[in-house]
Structure 1
């Protein structure tokens, strides 16, 4: 059975009404599950303390972030990544952030204590936060703290990032760590923030060939995306055989996402999640911790994360979305709501460069496998 973690305080990590990182995304999911008549048994986490965060963040960074959250002026704010459009300074911002980090850490503890084999943490996924830098809507790196907790218990941990943006913060924190494999499938940094995540970023020292990056071409469609997953992620985890897999389940590879250019549909996400479940059971001792992440088409993201919940709980997928839910959110958002859980087929016009894009992505598979071959023997 999958445990679900959430706390209403998560919504206090709110970067502003016009900011794309909206707490409404998760609110829509729970509201949809309720309208579908699905009971959600929620475990509520405690927030982490500033002292807990010192495992992965510098003490001075934490002190500055907490001070900014209280409305204090700090000279280091800009150097630490605050006061930008991506990471504005918002009163009370750390309260919700520390609850979300606490949720991901709780998920790791549930796995280590063998209280469950799968966890869905309905928040977190702040993969751009660095040791002393906020970036990409992320303040504290919940994923890194959870992974560090598991490795401190003697576990080998794999991290799979399917967010459309490179998981740079997580990669950086474990770049030399032989106990952690990181795999990021993202739109190429040539076109998209944070501009990192190249094939040659393989790790350092004992961590070499354990940091894998798959910079996909813009307008990559689901069939090519899944081919790359099959070609690299499957053999990587067959070789590494971790004690658990942590998945950052960003929904922004969806074709309608306004901040990126991958072309996955909800049908592709269903195939992706089912393949990940298979990988978990075959190569990761059946243990997994899912967090959320990016996803800025609110109508797509709410459906994708509902899909993830339903699949994790082996609940039959509905065809139509409840009319009450559609009308309620149509009024709240002021935009039309889809009638169905899944996207229509075809969901968009044909991609003119498809053969070229598919060929590029196929070449990525072989090039990366060639890079790591000697170390994987």
Structure 2
């Protein structure tokens, strides 16, 4: 089956202001690049999520607060809901813009559940920090959990894989008691990075104990150690957990150039991870997988990483060079010049603690699996 690319111009309304790092320019650049390349990049516009659909995850009082903030009527308790902060400033139409992004993930989940599509790429969203009663970390509504709830309502067992550099704390919190939703997050350790969670002892609660698997990685983790950790953990978890569908948050902020974190991945590592996730879905979920975007705050690298994801999902050959017209159009978004190829040049980093970083990552993944694996038998 062809892979739908979900996008609507209303996604671009999710805009916290020109100085905020979570910019819709990333999607503008991405969509224009996909249109400029010789691939089948036709976009499907999904309907926005309804208020009722948002409330399958979020508390009524929180949704009401978002609605009021969307019209400039800020409630006195606005900060209690994580709104009107530096991370989540309010803006006109915030509720509608957030529901548009949720609608994309939800539509993708329904295409998969009804057999219309095997895998889907949602060109937006990935708002994994939003909690049922509060916004956080640039995230208002949790599109991922809304999509997961829709899949669960169809009786599907879900494995959520999060490769954003920040821990997927909101998704984990929403599904912590559900034994049929595995939340697996590979991220920079919360000892050093927002949101300060995602430790290996977080494994779900109550009936969901054993349904959360966290791999906190050391700062300055490079491609080789990251891929070693991925191969040690992710295939094992998917095989043992036996999901019906994957939901994947594809944050691009573990790239070495990202200004908000400290991992040192290149596009080559991302490309390998994308191909492995597709292969794992083919082997274990009959190809059913919903991919979303996420973080990524260096536009040049972020857009190229997501374009790689689109090429792999569309099974399209990678271009040798990016179109000159596209590079010229968006050159003002680069601090220097835009990279003229999808992949980074081969490079190495001077990491003084490389051996210690690699050893710590091996130990963490080993301990995490030792703690959780007995719960899966």
Note whether the superposition's TM-score is higher than 0.5: yes
TM-score norm. by structure 1 comes to: 0.97
Aligned to 1:313: 314
CA shift digits 1:74-93 (9 cap, x unpaired) = 11211101121100011112
Per the alignment, in what secondary structure is the counterpart of residue 111 of structure 1? Answer: helix
Per the alignment, in what secondary structure is the counterpart of residue 78 of structure 1? Answer: helix
Assess if the C-alpha contact under 8 Å between 1:2 and 1:312 holds in 2.
yes
Give the C-alpha shift of residue 333 in structure 1.
5.4
Give the C-alpha shift of residue 5 in structure 1.
0.7
Aligned partners of 1:332 and 1:143: how far apart in 2? 28
Give the C-alpha shift of residue 334 in structure 1.
6.4
Give the C-alpha shift of residue 37 in structure 1.
3.1
Q: Where in structure 2 are the equivalents of 1:44-83 lying within 5 Å?
A: 44-83=45-84
Assess if the C-alpha contact under 8 Å between 1:4 and 1:119 holds in 2.
yes
Q: Which moved more, 1:297-306 or 1:221-230?
A: 221-230
Aligned partners of 2:98 and 2:220: how far apart in 1? 32
Aligned partners of 2:373 and 2:349: how far apart in 1? 39
CA separation of 1:186/1:6 partners in 2, compared to 1, >3 Å: closer, same or farther?
A: same
Assess if the C-alpha contact under 8 Å between 2:299 and 2:333 holds in 1.
no
Aligned to 2:193: 192
Q: Which runs of 5+ in 1 are unaligned?
A: none
Give the C-alpha shift of residue 331 in structure 1.
3.5
CA shift digits 1:177-231 (9 cap, x unpaired) = 0110010000000000000000000111221111000000001011111111111
Aligned to 2:373: 373
Assess if the C-alpha contact under 8 Å between 2:39 and 2:316 holds in 1.
no
CA shift digits 1:307-344 (9 cap, x unpaired) = 10011111111122111111111135564211221111
Aligned to 1:354: 354
Per the alignment, in what secondary structure is the counterpart of residue 27 of structure 1? Answer: helix
Aligned partners of 1:122 and 1:373: how far apart in 2? 34
Aligned to 2:267: 266
Give the C-alpha shift of residue 271 in structure 1.
0.7
Per the alignment, in what secondary structure is the counterpart of residue 80 of structure 2? Answer: coil
Assess if the C-alpha contact under 8 Å between 1:319 and 1:342 holds in 2.
no
Cα-Cα RMSD: 1.1
Per the alignment, in what secondary structure is the counterpart of residue 376 of structure 2? Answer: coil
Aligned partners of 1:269 and 1:92: how far apart in 2? 34
Q: Which moved more, 1:181-190 or 1:85-94?
A: 85-94
Aligned partners of 2:83 and 2:105: how far apart in 1? 23
Q: Which runs of 5+ in 2 are unaligned?
A: none
CA separation of 1:4/1:288 partners in 2, compared to 1, >3 Å: closer, same or farther?
A: same
Q: Where in structure 2 are the equivalents of 1:227-246 lying within 5 Å?
A: 227-246=228-247
Aligned partners of 2:108 and 2:11: how far apart in 1? 15
Q: Which moved more, 1:284-293 or 1:27-36?
A: 27-36
Aligned partners of 1:307 and 1:191: how far apart in 2? 29
Give the C-alpha shift of residue 3 in structure 1.
1.1
Aligned to 1:16: 17
Q: Where in structure 2 are the equivalents of 1:96-107 lying within 5 Å?
A: 96-107=97-108
Assess if the C-alpha contact under 8 Å between 1:125 and 1:292 holds in 2.
yes
Assess if the C-alpha contact under 8 Å between 1:10 and 1:99 holds in 2.
yes
Per the alignment, in what secondary structure is the counterpart of residue 134 of structure 1? Answer: coil
Assess if the C-alpha contact under 8 Å between 2:256 and 2:263 holds in 1.
yes
Per the alignment, in what secondary structure is the counterpart of residue 304 of structure 1? Answer: helix
CA separation of 1:334/1:199 partners in 2, compared to 1, >3 Å: closer, same or farther?
A: closer
Assess if the C-alpha contact under 8 Å between 1:13 and 1:94 holds in 2.
no
Aligned to 1:94: 95
TM-score norm. by structure 2 comes to: 0.97
Q: Which moved more, 1:99-108 or 1:326-335?
A: 326-335
Give the C-alpha shift of residue 48 in structure 1.
1.3
Stretches (4+) displaced over 2 A: 331-335
CA separation of 1:52/1:373 partners in 2, compared to 1, >3 Å: closer, same or farther?
A: closer
Give the C-alpha shift of residue 233 in structure 1.
1.1
Per the alignment, in what secondary structure is the counterpart of residue 365 of structure 2? Answer: helix
Aligned partners of 1:84 and 1:18: how far apart in 2? 14
